[in-house]
Amino acid sequence: MVRGRMVMSTTQCRTEDEDVFWRKLVLPQEERMRLGIPWHGGYRWFRSPNVIPIEQWRRKKRDSRATPTPSGAA
C-alpha cells in the first residue's frame, strides 16, 4: 500500500501519465543492459523508438477495439 492506495500490479495496464511517472524513476532497458542490471520483472521501458513493450502494444490494441468506427467510414 502506498498512502492508502494499492500499488498497481505489473499485469494491469497503465495509463500514459503513469508511464511518464515510471520513466522518471526507472532506467531504460538499454541502460540497464549496459550496466549489467538484470530485469526481474516489473516495469521496464525502451529508449529506442522502434521497440514497443508488449504491455503498451496490448493496451493500444485493446483501446482500438473498444472505440467503434462510424459505419461507412474509410
> 40 lies in a domain?
yes
* pLDDT tens-digit map of 15-57: 778 888 988 999 998 899 999 998 888 888 888 878 777 777 8
Q: Say yes or no to pLDDT of 4 above 50.
A: no
Report the pLDDT value the prediction gives residue 52, as an integer from 0 to 100: 76
Asked if residue 10 is part of any domain, the answer here is no
For 72, residues 6+ apart whose C-beta sits below 8 A from its C-beta are: none
More confident residue, 23 or 74: 23
| Residue 49 is assigned to a structural domain of this protein | yes
Q: Determine the Cα–Cα distance for residues 74 and 56; give it in Å rounded to an integer.
A: 26
Boundaries of domain holding 48: 16-66
The whole-number pLDDT of residue 67 equals 65
Please name which of 63, 11, 21, 62 lies closest in space to residue 45, comparing C-alpha atoms. 21
Give Cβ neighbours of residue 43 (< 8 Å, ≥ 6 apart).
10, 14, 22, 26
Q: Total structural domains in the chain?
A: 1
